[in-house]
Structure 1
Amino acid sequence: MAFRMYEGKDHVKAYLHYRVTPQEMINRIMDFMKPKAQQKFNLAVDVGCGNGKGTILLAPFFDQVVGTDVSHAQLELARANSLCSNVNYSQCPAEELPFESSTVDLVTAMTAAHWFDRSRFLAEADRVLKSNGCLALFSYTMDMELEYGSATSALNNICDEFYTALLPFRNPYLGTSSLKIYLDMFESCTYQDKEWNGCLRVNRTVTVDGFIGMVETFSSYQKLMRQDGAEAKRLSDDIRSKLLAAMQVSSPDTELTMVVKYFYMLARKP
């Protein structure tokens, strides 16, 4: 089953503002591709590209980059924010890519593949990839950690409270973590040259409000908000107050370190 997510305009704007841009993961992908590169890379396809924040990071490495998504609202925002002449966007399902067979150097999906029809998507990626082309899929767990001096332990207890409150609203298709979905895709991929990493820690400096805003983009929080907007706001306000108290500061613009735990699979087509 494939899902349509992140299509409300307010949600789309929040996603653009708060979600992490994964430059570290782009570096890992390119390091994996370069050892067997026989020529300059021509085409990369970012499937489920959303607002294009990750898509444009591929621009320096390819003659052409195409981001695809089913969401018209996401693609509108991606096009409006794209300054790269070699990046374009196309609206289509992940399982029906508009490319000829054996024409793509890289197929990637950044925090999106868990929503795809996995077997159909993997077959479609195999169809469009060239020989020696790369499939790169990654996402992160929903348990980001916060660091702020001696308050770090207390902050992460509060974070756990936030995540636990949202767990009942998580899509049952994903289970408690989407990591297993990606590991299953890795294991079902028949390519012999492949790599799995279950935890790559990426640090970002954010404000307290920035952390709250990111969690509010989660599909589980969005579901709670649709069901009971007042309760969603109460939860966010309560977590914010507790974080500020633990940090002994008053401003939600106070900066701290957020640790995002990525996992990924890289695989090279024979």
Structure 2
Amino acid sequence: MAVRLFEDKKHAAAYLQYRVAPQELISRMMSYMEKKTPKQFNLAVDVGCGSGQGTTLLAPYFTKVVGTDISPAQLEMALASSKPPNVSYRQCPAEELPFASGKVDLVTAMTAAHWFDCQRFLKEADRVLRPGGCLALVSYTMDMELEYGDVSSALNDICKEFYAALLPFRNPYLGSSSERIYLNMFDSCSYPDKEWNEKLLVKRTMPLSGYIGMVETFSSYQKLQQKDPAEAERLSNDIRNKLLSTMNVSSPDTEVTVVVKYFYWLTCKP
């Protein structure tokens, strides 16, 4: 199943503004590659790159990094952002990558592979990877948590209300968690050298409004917004006000720690 989402320009801009760039995951990928393969870090391809937050993090490690995405709006945001000189972008489907066979050192997809035609993508990744090249697929669970003083537990009860309200608008293909899709891809990968990892907690300090903005980039929230804009706004405002009240503050610019729960798998082509 290949799905096209995140193509509205306003949504793409929000995606760039609010999504977390997982530097910790890049470090894990590179440590794995350095153990598994000779240091031929020439070309990395970030598939489903969106607005390029993860793509640019690969730049220090490779001679050339190419981000690919099917969405012109997302790539427009990526190109408008500052980027290292060795980073470029191409528009294409994840299942049809514009690279010669056996020429890519790393293929990665960060919080994107669940929207691909999984088996076609794995076959295409195998085609473009050189022997000894690596594949790294990364995503996170929807249940992000907040830390703030001694009210973290109460805040997370409110966050669960937010996620529960959005669950009916989640794509049925994903189910309650996309982790199952990644496990199925992991199991179907024929490479003998592979490893599954969960959960890596990534913490970021941001304004409370940033957390709300991040949830609003979720496909489930976008679907609610398309169906009933007033209800989507009411839900966001209600959750924001409950969080502010629990924190005993009035400004949504008050900083909180957002905890994102990543899972990922890594493999090396024989």
Q: Is the 1:138–1:263 contact (alpha carbons within 8 Å) kept by the matching residues of 2?
A: yes
Q: How does 1:10-21 map to 2 (within 5 A)?
A: 10-21=10-21
Instruction: State the identity as a percent.
Output: 69
- Which residue of structure 1 lines up, in the alignment, with residue 49 of structure 2? 49
C-alpha displacement of 1:206: 1.3
SS at match of 1:99: coil
Aligned residue for 1:212? 212
Question: How many angstroms apart in 1 are the aligned matches of 2:75 and 2:243?
Answer: 35
Q: Deviations over 1:23-67 (max 9, x none)?
A: 000000000000133233110000000101110100110011010
Where does the alignment leave 5 or more consecutive residues of structure 1 unmatched? none
- Runs of at least 4 residues off by over 4 Å: none
SS in 2 for 1:54: helix
Answer yes or no: is the 8 Å Cα contact 2:206–2:257 preserved in 1.
Answer: yes
SS in 2 for 1:146: strand
- The question of whether the paired residues in 2 share the 8 Å contact of 1:52 and 1:82 is answered with no
3-state SS of paired residue (1:83): coil
Could you tell me whether the CA contact under 8 Å between 1:56 and 1:82 is conserved in 2? no
Deviation at 1:199, TM superposition (A): 0.9
User: Would you say the 8 A contact 1:45–1:108 is kept in 2?
Assistant: yes
Q: Does 1:69 align with 2:55?
A: no
Q: Secondary structure at the match of 1:176?
A: coil
Give the aligned partner of residue 25 of structure 2: 25
Task: Report the Cα distance in structure 1 between the residues aligned to 2:86 and 2:258, rounded to whole angstroms.
Answer: 32
- Specify the code of the residue in structure 2 equivalent to 1:54: G
Partner of 1:253: 253
Distance 1:254 1:36 in 2: 44
Aligned residues: 270
2:177 aligned residue: 177
State whether residues 49 and 68 of structure 1, in contact with CA within 8 Å, keep that contact through their aligned partners in structure 2. Answer: yes
The aligned counterpart of 1:202 is 202
Equivalent-residue separation in structure 2 for 1:76 and 1:10 (angstroms):
11
> 2:104 — aligned with what?
104
Determine the C-alpha separation between the residues in 1 that align with 2:228 and 2:250.
28
Q: Which residue of 1 aligns with 2:89?
A: 89
Aligned pairs (5 A) from 1:34-45: 34-45=34-45
Give how far 1:158 is off: 0.1
Partner Cα separation in structure 1 for residue 185 and residue 199 of structure 2: 16
- Secondary structure of 1:150 counterpart: coil
- Give SS of 1:201's match: strand
2:11 is the alignment partner of 1:5: no
Quote the offset at 1:210 in angstroms: 0.6
Secondary structure of the structure 1 residue equivalent to 2:58: helix
Q: Offset at 1:83?
A: 2.4
SS in 1 for 2:94: coil
Residue identity in the other structure for 1:187 = D
Q: Secondary structure at the match of 1:206?
A: strand
Aligned-residue CA RMSD (Å): 0.7
Q: C-alpha displacement at 1:82, in angstroms?
A: 3.6
